[in-house]
Chains A and B, each alone.
Chain A
Amino acid sequence: MSNPGKNSSSSKSMQMAMLVAAVGILIFTAFLLLTNYQSQLKLRNTAVERFRHNTEQRANVLGHFFSELLDDLQYLTVSRAVNVYFENQALGMSMVYGLRASLLSVEHKFNSLIERRIYHGKRVFKSIIMVDKKGDVLVTATKGFPDQDGHNFLNANIMAQDKLPVLTVDKNSYMCSTPILFKNQVVALIIAWIDPGCLNEYMVQKKEGKLSATGAMVVDGRLYFHNTDIFKLSEREMDLLGQIPTGDIQRLDLAQVQDGADEHLALKTPVVGTNLDYIGLISAEDVFGRTAPWNNIAALAAILATLFCGLVFFWRQNTMKLVLQAHLDEADKREKEIAEKNLDLETQIEKRLETENRLRESELRFRSLVESISDWFWEVDTKGMYTYVGPQIKTILGYDREEAVGKSPFDFMPIQERRRIKKIFRDLEADCSPIELLENTLIHKQGHRVVVQTSGLPIYDSHGKYVGYRGTDRDITEKLKLEERLKQAQKMESIGTLAGGIAHDFNNILHIMIGNAELALDVVPEWNPAYESIEEIKKAGHRASGIVKQLLSFSRKSDNELHPIGIMTAIREALDLLRATIPTTIEMRRNLPATDVTVIADPNQINQVIMNLCINASQAMDNLGGIIEVSAEKMALDVRCENKIPELPRGPYIKIAVSDTGMGIEPEIIDRIFDPYFTTRLVGQGSGMGLAVVHGIVKSHGGAITVESEVGKGSIFHLYFPLAEAKASKGSDKEGQIQRGDETILFVDDEKSIVSMMERNLSWLGYHVEIELNPRDAVELFRSKSDQIDLVITDMTMPQMTGIQLSEALRQIRPDLPIILCTGHSDLIDEDKAERLGIAGFVMKPAAKQEMARIIRDVLDSH
Chain B
Amino acid sequence: MVCCRKYAFTWSIRALWAIVMICCLPLMADAQDLPGIKAKGVLRHLGVPYANFVSGAGDGLDVELMQLFAHHIGVRYQYVKTDWPTLIADLTGVRYKLIDNEVKILGKTAVKGDVIANGFTQLDWRQQLIEFSTPTFPTQVWLVARADSPMQPINPSDDIQRDIAQVKQLLDRQVVLGVAGTCTDPTLYHLNAVGATSRIFKGTLNELAPAIINGVADATILDVPDALVALEKWPGQIKVIGPVSPVQQMGLGFAKDAPLLRAAFNDFFEMAKADGTYRQLVKKYYPSAFLYFSKFFESF
Contact = CB atoms under 8 A, between A and B. Distances in A.
Nearest to B149: A91
Interface in A66-103: 80, 84, 87-88, 91-103
Contacts of B156: 94-97
A102 B291 CA distance: 11
Interface stretch (B17-25, B226-234, B264-272): B226-234
B292 interface: yes
Overall SS of chain A's interface: helix
A314 B176 CA distance: 120
Given A84-B235, A101-B231, A91 B288 contact: no
Given A94-B156, A101-B288, A84 B236 contact: yes
Contact of B239 (A80, A88, A95): A88
Given A94-B153, A94-B155, A98-B231, A88 B236 contact: yes
Contact of A87 (B142, B235, B287): B235
Contacts of A100: 288, 291-292
A713 B163 CA distance: 190
Given A91-B153, A93-B240, 5 more contacts: A84-B235, A97-B154, A98-B239, A100-B292, A104-B287
Q: Name the residue among A92, A97, A102 with the largest chain B CB count within 10 angstroms.
A: A97
A166 B70 CA distance: 57
B262 to A, nearest CB: 33
Contacts, number: 59
B288 A93 contact: no
What size tier do the contact residues of chain B reach?
Answer: 20 to 34
A488 interface: no
A97 B240 contact: yes
A93 B240 CA distance: 6
Contacts of A93: 153, 239-240
A694 to B, nearest CB: 142
B228 A101 contact: yes
Contacts of B227: 98
B130 to A, nearest CB: 30
A80 B235 CA distance: 9
Nearest to B146: A91
Interface in B153-167: 153-156, 163
20 contacts: A80-B235, A88-B236, A92-B239, A93-B239, A94-B153, A94-B156, A96-B156, A97-B153, A97-B154, A97-B240, A97-B242, A100-B288, A100-B291, A100-B292, A101-B232, A101-B288, A101-B292, A102-B231, A104-B287, A105-B232
Contact of A91 (B155, B232, B236): B236
B243 interface: yes
B287 to A, nearest CB: 6
B147 interface: yes
A87 B227 CA distance: 16
Interface string B180-210: 0000000000000000000000000000000
Contacts of A97: 142, 153-154, 156, 163, 240-243
Contacts of B147: 91
Interface of A: 80, 84, 87-88, 91-105
A98 to B, nearest CB: 3
Contacts of B277: none
Contacts of A101: 228, 231-232, 288, 291-292
A97 B154 CA distance: 9
B290 to A, nearest CB: 9
Nearest to B227: A98
A397 B127 CA distance: 162
Contacts of A87: 235-236
A103 B291 CA distance: 10
A46 to B, nearest CB: 60
Nearest to A97: B240
Interface string B33-75: 0000000000000000000000000000000000000000000
Given A92-B152, A97-B142, A97-B156, A104 B288 contact: yes
Interface string B108-132: 0000000000000000000000000
B231 to A, nearest CB: 6
B19 to A, nearest CB: 56
Nearest to A101: B288
B268 to A, nearest CB: 29
Nearest to A87: B236
A419 B288 CA distance: 164
A92 B151 CA distance: 10
B189 to A, nearest CB: 15
A98 B235 contact: no
A726 B142 CA distance: 178
A92 B153 contact: yes
Nearest to A108: B287
A806 to B, nearest CB: 144
B142 A102 contact: no
B239 A104 contact: no
B12 to A, nearest CB: 64
A673 B92 CA distance: 160
A99 B291 CA distance: 11
Contacts of B231: 88, 98, 101-102
A94 B291 contact: no
A306 to B, nearest CB: 84
B230 to A, nearest CB: 10
Interface in B242-283: 242-243
Nearest to A94: B156
B77 to A, nearest CB: 31
Nearest to A92: B153
A313 to B, nearest CB: 92
A101 B239 CA distance: 12
A99 B238 CA distance: 12
Q: Name the residue among A94, A96, A99, A104 with the largest chain B CB count within 10 angstroms.
A: A96
Contacts of A102: 231, 235
A165 to B, nearest CB: 26
Contacts of B241: 97
Q: Name the residue among B163, B228, B239, B242 with the largest chain A CB count within 10 angstroms.
A: B239
Contacts of A105: 232
A80 B239 CA distance: 17
Nearest to A90: B236
Contact of B142 (A88, A91, A98, A99): A98
Contacts of B154: 94, 97
A178 to B, nearest CB: 22
A101 B291 CA distance: 7
Nearest to B142: A97
Q: Name the residue among B152, B232, B240, B291 with the largest chain A CB count within 10 angstroms.
A: B240
A92 B236 CA distance: 11
Contacts of A88: 231, 235-236, 239
Contacts of A95: 156
Contacts of A94: 153-156, 242
